[in-house]
A and B are shown apart, each in its own frame.
Chain A
């Protein structure tokens, strides 16, 4: 008889522990969605910031922008190009 009582108590105990565990886990997991949503919002903000910065960077490093800057600053294309030959130069006399 005692054996049955112990077994029954154990089963009820396990059931209780599992129920409590489920309640605790469910409770903690229930707010994960909110956290994930917050993180997703944050990711979105950073992604947006990255996209805007990339846009700025690409515009600033484009040849079109660089050439415009060069012209604005008054630089002019090189008129005479210095070229080196394979033949070493000679000094006459």
Chain B
């Protein structure tokens, strides 16, 4: 009897050990795999794509928003009537029937048919109840103002992993913040496939991208683009660019460049036009550079506004080169006011030589020449200043009137704006505020870079520049009743070791109202054909925009109108 009991006990023990070992195998060794398998049976992992942040103009208008679009896909194994399906899809999706038919013939479970179709088209196709045809929601960038401010905004394309990625402008510079964070969700289902609530359903919520509010004023941007486009056409230029900045804060209120691209269909444009020339193109600024050198000379105390130029009675010979004025007319005993008014190259050589190389380089550094301005747009280029040892007397002479030295337009605008801001240079900035996922607004405060010249020098330069406008070459285009400070520029273009004798880069830089500047603006044209001079091309564009800006800001005239 005892023997039988023992046999039974051993059998039970063996069975227990076997069960124990099997359980150990399932629950410990293959736990993760089986748990995953189970989860797949009663739940589904859903990837939550974040919504890309909006980009808004200063009035809160979303200049870049998101549009609801759909990806049309097919499961060729479920499609019942390929001919009918091809007919419907080709007529509504405007696709080649042969390509649709080819896609439907593939031996796959999932084939993408068309991207970014709008809701209306989706609903039309849906009415046909085509078996094997489905739609997947996808966010697409939406530009209500079409191609406005394209160079500031950049565009959204595909990254290496096929996900959305921002390129150029704000989209490129702030891509990570705009993109947001991908989330995942595990949705559980009961035996009948109905969703059930479970504490572990939400595993990681997605985080929508941050919204950006820019300093860009939509009305001013519109005015600038319109006037620049008209000017380029009128003066038959190859292109042009302009930007408007608030000198007191460094806020970029408008920036335009042509030729431009349409961010909605960026792939249809040459990749060269994606770059924002205002921050990536370098050029020799010509006479628009003169105010910086003159301000340096006055600020360092080597010259005064009424100092007399002693070499302005004819061409200046330096190192075998003869430096002339733009019209070969000379004004002996000119004051510094006259030198700027006549845009006198020989006068500027006098200023440069009196200032000396050391001081000039020190001031150029203060003005930020040869340095990154820090603008928050992707792709800023910095043309470096040559080493001090490689400066020869002729280089000092030509640099004093803006030739033989390269800058980007944003560099010049930033440097010049310090004269409009009592000598303080501000960092140019496009973004005004960032809205976080939780709705909190983070204001971007204006950033002071450094003092370039004293407040007194800035005021003297302002008066000199007001005279340059009211009595200079471009006075015919200036609006009456306002004190506007500015300077024309007609720069030669260096080509293969010499300067192009026929083509120029005309420009105009200035600010208004001179006594309490609200804006500083730089207009640059590329090789206009009707006239090569800044006073006849860039200046009228500047003043046309300025007139509208003064009205926009409701600034009344301060001078009598004849």
Do chains A and B interact in one complex?
A: yes
Chain A residues within 8 Å of B, Cβ to Cβ: 29-30, 32-34, 36-37, 48, 51-52, 54-55, 58-59, 61-64, 67, 81, 83-87
Sample (10) of A-B pairs whose CB atoms are under 8 Å apart: A30-B190, A30-B196, A33-B190, A33-B194, A34-B195, A36-B197, A54-B65, A55-B67, A55-B68, A86-B558
Interface pair B142/A33, CB less than 8 Å apart = no
- Nearest chain B residue, comparing its CB with the CB of A63: B222
Residues of chain A with a CB closer than 8 A to B235's CB? none
Question: B195 near A85 (CB under 8 angstroms)?
Answer: no
Complex CA gap A29/B198 in Å reads 10
Of B143-151, B169-177, B204-212, B239-247, which binds chain A?
A: B143-151
Contacts A63-B145, A81-B547 given; does A86 touch B68 at CB 8 Å: no
Name the distance in Å between B187's Cβ and chain A's nearest Cβ. 9
CA distance A56 to B125 in the complex (A): 21
Kindly state the separation between the CA atoms of A55 and B61 in the bound complex, as whole angstroms. Answer: 12
- Minimal beta-carbon separation of A52 from chain B (angstroms): 6
**A residues less than 8 Å from B1 (CB atoms):** none
Q: Please encode chain B, from 535 to 562, with 1 for each CB lying within 8 Å of some chain A CB and 0 for all others.
A: 0000000000001000100001110110
Query: Residues of A contacting B119 with CB < 8 Å?
Result: 48, 52
Contact assessment for A64 and B146 in the assembled complex, using a CB-CB cutoff below 8 Å: yes
Q: Please, which residue of chain B has its CB at the minimum distance from the CB of A84?
A: B556
Determine the chain B residues whose CB is within 8 A of the CB of A85 once the complex forms: 481, 556-558, 560-561
Partner pick for A29 among B62, B194, B195, B197, CB 8 A cutoff: B197
Other-chain contact of A48, B65, B68, B146 (Cβ < 8 Å) = B68
CA distance A83 to B144 in the complex (A): 33
Apart from A33-B188, A51-B66, 11 more pairs, CB < 8 Å = A30-B190, A33-B196, A34-B195, A37-B195, A54-B65, A61-B144, A63-B222, A83-B556, A85-B558, A85-B561, A86-B556
The one of B197, B556, B560 in contact with A32, judged by C-beta atoms closer than 8 angstroms, is B197
CA gap between A87 and B481 in the complex, in Å: 11
Q: Are A62 and B560 in contact (CB under 8 A)?
A: no
Q: A29–B558 Cα gap in the complex (Å)?
A: 75
B438-480 contact mask (Cβ, 8 Å, vs A): 1 or 0: 0000000000000000000000000000000000000000000
Q: Give the Cβ gap from B37 to chain A, nearest Cβ, in Å.
A: 22
Which chain A residues lie closer than 8 Å to B481 at the CB level? Answer: 83, 85
Q: Count the B residues whose beta carbon is within 8 Å of the partner chain — how many?
A: 29
In the assembled complex, B17 has its CB within 8 A of some CB on chain A = no
Nearest chain-A residue to B222 (Cβ)? Answer: A63
- Return chain B residues, CB-CB under 8 Å to A37: 194-195
Does A58 lie within 8 Å of B65, measured CB to CB? yes
User: If the complex has contacts A34-B194, A85-B556, A85-B560, are A63 and B65 also in contact, measured as CB distance less than 8 A?
Assistant: no
Bits for B185-203, please: 1 = Cβ < 8 Å to A, else 0: 0001010001111000000
Bound CA span A64–B551, Å? 21
Query: Which residues of B in the span 14-64 have a Cβ within 8 Å of any Cβ on A?
Result: 61-62
Task: List chain B residues, Cβ under 8 A from A36.
Answer: 195, 197
Q: Which of B142, B188, B195 contacts A55 (CB 8 A)?
A: B142
Q: How far does the alpha carbon of A34 sit from the alpha carbon of B190 in the complex, in Å?
A: 10
Q: Are A83 and B561 in contact (CB under 8 A)?
A: yes
Lowest 10 CB-CB distances: which A-B pairs, in order?
A33-B196, A58-B144, A62-B144, A37-B195, A33-B197, A51-B68, A33-B195, A62-B145, A63-B222, A32-B197
Given known pairs A83-B561, A84-B556, A85-B557, the reply for A58 and B197 (CB within 8 Å) is no
Give every chain A residue within 8 A of B222 (Cβ-Cβ). Answer: 63, 67
Write out, one digit per residue, whether chain B residues 207-225 have a CB within 8 A of any chain A CB (1) or not (0): 0000000000011001000
Candidates B65, B146, B148, B557; contact of A83 at CB < 8 Å: B557
User: Shortest CB–CB separation between residue B147 and chain A, in angstroms?
Assistant: 9
Nearest opposing residue in chain B for A55, CB measure: B67
Chain A residues, Cβ within 8 Å of B560: 85, 87
- Please give the distance in Å from B483's CB to the nearest CB on chain A: 12
Whether the Cβ atoms of A59 and B144 lie closer than 8 Å is: yes
* Whole-angstrom CA separation of A58 from B557 in the bound complex: 36
| Residues of chain B lying within 8 A (CB to CB) of residue A58 | 61-62, 65, 142, 144
A63 touches B219 (CB 8 A): yes
Question: In the complex the two chains form, what is the Cα distance from A54 to B146 in whole Å?
Answer: 16
Chain B residues near A84 (CB-CB < 8 A): 556-557
Roughly how many angstroms separate A9 CA and B144 CA in the complex, as a whole number?
Answer: 74
Q: Once the chains are docked, how many angstroms separate the CA of A64 from the CA of B190?
A: 52
What's the minimum C-beta distance from B126 to chain A, rounded to whole angstroms?
Answer: 13
